[in-house]
Amino acid sequence: MVEERSSVEMPQEQKAAVAVGNLLPANARFIVPAIVLAVTFLGYLGTLRYDFVYDDVHVIVENGSVHSWRFLPRYFTEHLWFFEPGMTNYYRPIFLVWLVLNHTLFGLNPIGYHLTTVLAHVAVTLLVFHFTRRLTGDLATAAIAALLFGLHPAHIEGVAWVSGVSETLLAIFFIGSFLCYLKYRDLDAGRRKGWLVAALVLAALAVFEKETGIVLPMMIFAYELIFDAGRKGRAIRGEEDARPEKASESMGRFRMALVRSLPFVVVTVLYLLARINALGAIGRTKTPLSLATLIFTWPSLLWAYVKILAWPVRLSAFYDTPYVTRPGLLDFWFPLAAIAAVGSAIWWLVRKKQPGRFALVWLIVPVVPLLNLTVFGPGELVHDRYMFLPSVGFVVIVALAVRRLRAGNSVLFGLPTVQVLAALILASGSGVALAYQHVNWSSNLVLFQHSLEIAPNSKTAKGSLAEALIVRGMYVEGARLFQELLDQDPESSELNHNMGFALNAAGKPREAEPYLMRAIELKPLQPDAHYLLGVVRLTMNRLDEAETPFREAVRISPDVAFYHYGLASWFKMRGDLREALQEFERELVINPNFAMAQNQIAEIKARLGAGELPDAAPAARSDRVRRPQ
């Protein structure tokens, strides 16, 4: 590969390979990443035909707040789920901006959303290429790292699932900010201010897109400590300087790192103030856990992530990850020993090279926030998508390891043959695993059947599969799964609602009613239960009893799709066409592509003009279940 000018010179053992690499065309630095990006796009091309799955339906299809730009100010002042009651730990306004932008372009056509999600992943892959090249000064290392990143199966959840784009967008802004900072760092004072501004703007976009962006100042700080511009022997060659460092020099490096990371700390503080304003707190405990349980659970959690990165097979939307309340051989001591062994091996590999040490920091630091298990619900501790940003450090370490391989003197494509073969084997294995597994995200039925096979104890997987079965008309099978869950937790408002949903979908509204009433009793501010109770009573022609639940649903969540349609249907059945028209029009404001509401409006306007009596509106939508928030 062609050697490039950079603040980081090529390590000595790579210079021979680079000399051979100079035989490649001068524009290799453009051709190589273009090939990597094309391969990455082709790897995910099949996902363009997939449906909206999992939370996509609730977050995109049924969420009127991302169907109109009029909600834009609320994205920055309220939590992610502001369209329904309750609080959450999620404050992601830029993610909501992305969704409304996609809706503006594509409506509710999933192909468009999948296309932009895949293109975002391709963009991250390009940034990983530039990041690695900037870090190591080696085009070959950058190409290997980017190729492995683009095809890594652990990214399926973040790319094949539309709502998983939050990870991809975070990486775009995060890595982009870091690269702009490095550009600022390299230039003289007269030309670099614009790069610092760009770095800070991207840092703000990163943290307002997803909370993990708060670790960016730590990355800047770590980079300055590892790549100290004042010690040329270490920072330029990527090697250790033999000259011992004096205490004063060490303190000077620390102060310089702190000063240079300070502007990014300011961005983080401003974000935290906005977050507190929106959520009322920095974060909320979702699952109270003792310190001992946290510590005992960490090894199995971290070992799960090691396996996702190093051996990405049997991936799933959910995993069985129980809390560890007392240390046992298999759930504490073995994963602890395994992590220690892997960590020691990686440290031995990277300890002498600054790019490797910084890649290790990049692998570890974004994982640290995941150790606060109290913010996750039971069974939600491990997700593949959480490895999206840390995997950048992982692929850089792997690429550096590949570039250290030596066997004979043969070369291929300007590199030692053994390195080319190793890179091709890794990329081919990743590509096959990617092609084999991304199909699991093609539809809800496929996704949750597979998830329940991998995680048979996951209540979320079982409940989601039950919903998917009912939507497909498999009412008996879906109701059976809901009943199994309800038997385990009869005091769950969500599960009582879901059982009522299943029975109503099966044509048993009378049996569904008590479950919905129980759901409301357990959680009075659950709008879906009120709405579905109104639908059930309309179905049984109990009009007088249907009014209150419909009105409650609208009162609790006035901006959620289908609630106004339900109330409008009640008005129409009562013969109040003008009130019905108003509610249908309100529904259309929230859900502008809802054809049934459009048809009802046209019909009512025609009948009001002709003086006709009303018929009943078509049945209001009721195909949704509740998941614990």
DSSP for 230-258 reads: T-HHHHTTSS--SSPPPHHHHHHHHHHHH
- Position 233 pLDDT exceeds 80: no
pLDDT at position 412: 85
pLDDT at position 331: 94
**Domains in the chain, ordered, with CATH?**
12-238+247-283+350-369+387-441 (no CATH), 458-610 (1.25.40.10)
| pLDDT (mean) for 495-512 | 92
% residues pLDDT > 70 (the chain): 89
By CB neighbour count within 10 A (0-12 exposed, 13-18 middle, 19+ buried), where does 417 fall? Answer: middle
pLDDT at position 379: 80
SS (H, E, C) 558-569: CCCCCHHHHHHH
Q: How far is CA 66 from CA 19, 98, 208, in A?
A: 54, 9, 17
> What is the rounded CA–CA span in Å between residue 268 and residue 365?
16
- Work out the number of other CB atoms within 10 angstroms of the CB of residue 46: 16
pLDDT at position 610: 66
Looking at residue 438, the DSSP 8-state letter turns out to be G
Question: pLDDT digit string (tens) for 298-342?
Answer: 999 999 999 999 999 999 999 999 999 999 999 999 999 999 999
| pLDDT (mean) for 541-569 | 91
- Position 593 pLDDT exceeds 90: no
pLDDT at position 250: 75
% residues pLDDT > 90 (the chain): 70
Question: What is the maximal distance between C-alpha atoms in the chain?
Answer: 96
Question: pLDDT digit string (tens) for 360-407?
Answer: 999 999 999 999 999 998 888 999 999 999 999 999 999 999 999 998
Kindly give the pairing relationship between strand 411-412 and strand 415-416: antiparallel
pLDDT at position 283: 87
pLDDT at position 62: 82
Nearest partner of 264 among 200, 321, 311, judged by Cα: 200
Which residue matches tokens 């909501």?
96
Looking at residue 510, the DSSP 8-state letter turns out to be H
pLDDT at position 617: 56
